[in-house]
Chains A and B, each alone.
Chain A
Amino acid sequence: MHHHHKHCDELFADAEAAAAEKDWAHAKMSLGAFHGDLETHFRTEEEVLFPAFEAATGMTGGPTQMMRYEHAQMRELVARMEEAMREQDGEAFAGDAETLLILMQQHNMKEENILYPMIDRSLAGQAGSLGPVLRERLASA
């Protein structure tokens, strides 16, 4: 999951740089790839990882809920970036990209530093069954 975060970062930086140079065709391609990967990542967490954690700990209202909320915020920002791209509005694109970047980074750090270690601990017994599922879903991106 951690490696997949870094992969999303690359695509994001690429799309942002292309938009800054008004290379909209390139930006469209990178943003499209970024959006696809982001969705795969979010869905993997929301449909596999979080439910497994919630079932193991009984915690449904805590960290996973917050992470789901932040996923919704990020989806909204990506939608706005796509709109700015259609209108070729570099200023709006850069503004949303800036916000998304920080939101995404602090989200990743919370997951990597706090949530994933918690999940690792609470799912220690299931690693064998969950690992391949996660890998397969992320690889299909």
Chain B
Amino acid sequence: MHPNLSFEQAPPISVPFRFFLTAPLFGIAAGLLLLWQGGEMLSSRWMPAALAATHLLVVGFMLQAMCGALLQFVPVAAGGNIWRPRLVAGIVHPLLLVAAGLLVAAFLSYRPALFLGAAHLFVAALGVFCIVVGAAVWRTPAQGPTIVALRIAMIGLLVTVALGATLATGLASGAQWPLLALTDIHAGWGLGGWGLVLLAGVSYFVVPMFQLTPAYPAWLARGVPLLLMLVLILWTLQLLGFPAEIRMAILFAGLAVAGAFAVQTLRLQFRRRRKVKDATLLFFRTAMVCLLVIVASALLFAAVPQFGQDARAPVWLGVLALVGVFVTAINGMLYKIVPFLNWLHLQRLGGMTVLPPTMNQMLAERRMRQQLYAHLAALVLLLAAVWFPLLARPAGLAFALDCLWLAANLVTAVRVYRDFRDRIRAAA
């Protein structure tokens, strides 16, 4: 197939938007869960409600946003042809929604049937997604570090799902598997192999594009995904039994790669040619700073055992990773993608005669800033609540409101799109 076909493969706007509009709802649910459960939920990563909230964020908020974004990004930015995007979205989106709901209910109730149901649905939804999107990123004629990162991210997603399904089956059947080690490996592939590699691959593309920064140096852009995969393969070998020191060394190797990516991103943003600061830039910076705080915290936890052995230490890292890095970065990206896609689709609909509203008219910079401040407040409260349980309920409420605000802003932008589309149609 000739690569020129990939030029006009942008999917219908409803394909990414259904995922984008669903994502914040899971954030609201996670906040409400904390409001309901209170401080005890943050006392250990193994608390059932903590596991439930973690998965509301990873397979709810993050996975929805990332799948939706890839269905848009792969054809238009990576030149990959997605097979029947409307059909794929129509299958994957509802399956993921129900699967995430079942999994959360499973953690809260520990009913084996719910774990098994969730596992089957995830395997079906992500199996379809990985085949279709994987084929597109493997067959694209485009080259470069973003493509390499996308391919590795797809592997990361596959491994994460396989391990997740294994864990769910193990929990449902009460099998004597090394569930703790499997959980760490599952989390490593999910956050590192899928989440961070995808974030890096997309950053190579959008960081220079949104802020007119220099490009990422080629060695770093290629190195980050490959090294993360190498580290994760070693991390997986802990199943064979490792001394704790080696396990720690592998962990720090991974964190060093993540830290290098964060430092480089901040450096590039510092050297940007575009002077105007927008909400997306501030969201992205916050995410990169949180990534560095993770590295610093992990070093501190290793150096000072009375912190490191506290059951709250992994919760602190988890809040930083999920809310600080991923939810923040996704939030910022959505604020660029949604108004731009609105504009692009309206522009095509109206031809050269009717000019659509500008991006700022679809979603005012002021509204994005206000939500950014709400998000930062929620993040600070959540982090404080890890050590001061009295703050847990206010933090949960703040995070639910933060995500509600994001949802409201996205809905506003979609409404502007709809109104204008209807006007174009009425005029035609």
Contact = CB atoms under 8 A, between A and B. Distances in A.
Interface of A: 9-10, 12-13, 16-17, 20, 59, 62-63, 66, 72-73, 76, 80, 91-92, 94-96, 98-99, 101-103, 105-106, 109-110, 113-114, 118
Contacts of B360: 91, 94-95, 98
A118 B7 CA distance: 13
A3 B110 CA distance: 59
A17 B273 CA distance: 10
Interface string B326-365: 0000000000100010011001000010010111110001
Nearest to B79: A114
Determine chain A's interface SS by DSSP, over half rule: helix
B358 A10 contact: no
Contacts of B176: none
Contact of A63 (B7, B274, B355, B357): B7
B77 A109 contact: yes
B358 A20 contact: no
Nearest to A19: B276
B275 A17 contact: yes
Nearest to B209: A105
B234 interface: no
A62 B336 CA distance: 27
A71 B144 CA distance: 25
B280 to A, nearest CB: 10
Contacts of A80: 355
Given A94-B360, A99-B340, A102-B340, A113 B142 contact: yes
A121 to B, nearest CB: 10
B3 A114 contact: yes
Contacts of A17: 274-276
3 smallest beta-carbon distances between A and B, as pairs: A95-B358, A62-B4, A17-B275
Contacts, number: 85
B420 interface: no
B215 to A, nearest CB: 10
A9 to B, nearest CB: 5
Given A92-B358, A99-B340, 5 more contacts: A80-B355, A91-B360, A101-B212, A113-B142, A118-B4
Highest count of chain A CB atoms <10 Å: which of B77, B143, B273, B347: B273
Contacts of B344: 103
B387 interface: no
B210 interface: yes
A96 B77 CA distance: 22
B340 A63 contact: no
Contacts of B79: 110, 113-114
25 contacts: A10-B273, A13-B275, A16-B274, A16-B276, A20-B275, A59-B4, A62-B4, A62-B7, A63-B4, A66-B7, A72-B352, A76-B352, A92-B358, A94-B360, A94-B365, A98-B360, A101-B212, A102-B209, A102-B210, A102-B336, A105-B208, A109-B209, A114-B3, A114-B7, A114-B142
